[in-house]
Amino acid sequence: MVKCFKNSRPREIETLNRLLGEDGGQKVNHYDLFLKDLFEIRHPHLYKKGTKGEIESFKSDFLKEKPENSGFWIYYPWLKTAYLCPPEEVYFEIITARNKTLVSDFEQKEFYKFKVGIVGMSVGQSAALMLVRSGGARNLKIADPDTIDPSNLNRIHVGIPAIGRPKIDVVAERIFETNPYINLKKYNQGLLLNNLDGFFNDDFKLNVVVDACDDIEIKIAIRKQAKKLGVPVLMVTDIGDGALVDIERFDLDNKLPIFHGRVEEEVKIKSQLDFMKVGMKIIDPDNLSLNTIMAMSAVGKEIPSHPQLGTSAYFSGVVMSYVIRRLSAGEIFPAKRIFVDLEAYFNPKIQTEEYKILRNKAVENFKNMIGL
C-alpha cells in the first residue's frame, strides 16, 4: 500500500516526482528531526545538551557513511504525500529507543522478527496497532471482511471519514503510518476455510495467531490448523471493563483440547441461541460482571448486539501485545486463561456481599435463559 523510493537513486526520485505530479501530491521532509533524535539516542549524555555544531557534525558523518543513509521517500497514496524516512534499521532504532532497558535488545529484536497473524479487526485492530507501535511483528497478516459502521467508532481508532470503508484497509493505513517497512499481508475476505492454510503458511509461516473474530466455525478451524502445525493461539475477549486472555500452547503440546476443553471440535451453529450458548461456553458466564450479564440478557430486546467498550478494546490490544512480546522471547508459560479486570481493582462495590449475591443470581438466570 506504500511505495518506497531510495533518495540516493536519481531515477527513483524521477519516478516519485512523476507520480506526485499525476496525483497532485507533495513531499514532506522532516529528516533533520529524525537525525536529531538519532544523535541523542547514540549520545545519551548529550540529551537536550548537544550544540548545533555537534549535531551538524553527526549528521554529516551519518550521511557520508553509506548512500542508504540519505533516506527513503515513503509515498502514502491515501495522503498523496511522500515523507523522507531513515533506512529500516535506523528507523527501527529510533522508534524503539524509548523501549530500551525496559525491553532488552534481544527481546526487542525477537519481537520484531516474530510473525503474527490477527483475525478480526475490532479488538484485533487494537492488538495490531499496539504490536507495531511497540516495535513488534515486522511480518504481519490481518484478516477481516467487514466495513466500518458508525457504531464501530466507540472502539476502533478511526473517525467519520472511515465509515463505510473496509476495516482492514483503514487498519493497514494506520500500520504503515507507524512503520512503513512492515511486511503486511491483508485478507480482505476475512479468514475462510479455503484460505486458512494460506493464512498460516503463504509468504511467511506464522509464529502465533491472534483470534479476535466472532465466527465460531472459524475459531474452531483456526485451532485445528494450529494443532496440526504446532502454532500457539491467543484469544483476547473484551468483557465489560476487562480483557479475558486465552493462551493455547499448541506449539508445546498439539494434543491439547481446543478452548481448554470448553467446546468440542465439531459444533453446529444453527441459530443465534446456538451462537450465544457456544460463545458463553467459551467465555464462561462466571467471568462476567453484573452489568455485562444484564447487557447480554438484553441482546435482541433492548440492544441489537453484544456490548463492547472502547476502553476494554484498547486495553485488550495492550495485553495482547505484551503477551506476544513475552512469547517471542521464548518464555515457556503454559496454556492458561487470565482475566484482567479493571473493575476488580478500582470498583469497591463488587467486593460487597450484596453485589456478589445479585451477580450470582444474575449468572444463574442467564445460564438458564440460554440453556447452559
Which tens digits make up the pLDDT trace of 222-238?
Answer: 999 999 999 999 998 88
Which tens digits make up the pLDDT trace of 137-178?
Answer: 999 999 999 999 998 888 888 889 999 999 999 999 999 999
The pTM score is 0.93
What does the pLDDT read at residue 203? 95
Q: What's the whole-number mean pLDDT along residues 323-330? A: 95
Per the CATH hierarchy, to which homologous superfamily does domain 105-370 belong? NAD(P)-binding Rossmann-like Domain (3.40.50.720)
Q: How far is CA 364 from CA 187, 355, 356, 367, 372, in A?
A: 40, 14, 12, 5, 9
For the chain, give the percent of residues with pLDDT over 70.
100
Is the pLDDT at 296 greater than 90? The verdict is no
Q: Average pLDDT of the chain?
A: 92
Is the pLDDT at 305 greater than 80? The verdict is no
Q: What's the whole-number mean pLDDT along residues 17-27? A: 96
Q: What's the whole-number mean pLDDT along residues 303-332? A: 88
CA torsion angle for 372, 255, 199, 319 (degrees, to 10)? 60
**DSSP conformation class of 195:** T
CATH 3.40.50.720 residue spans of the chain? 105-370
Give the three cell numbers for residue 169.
484497509
What does the pLDDT read at residue 362? 83
Q: What's the whole-number mean pLDDT along residues 34-63? A: 95
| Angstrom distance (rounded) from CA 279 to CA 95 | 39
| Angstrom distance (rounded) from CA 63 to CA 153 | 43
Is the pLDDT at 255 greater than 90? The verdict is yes
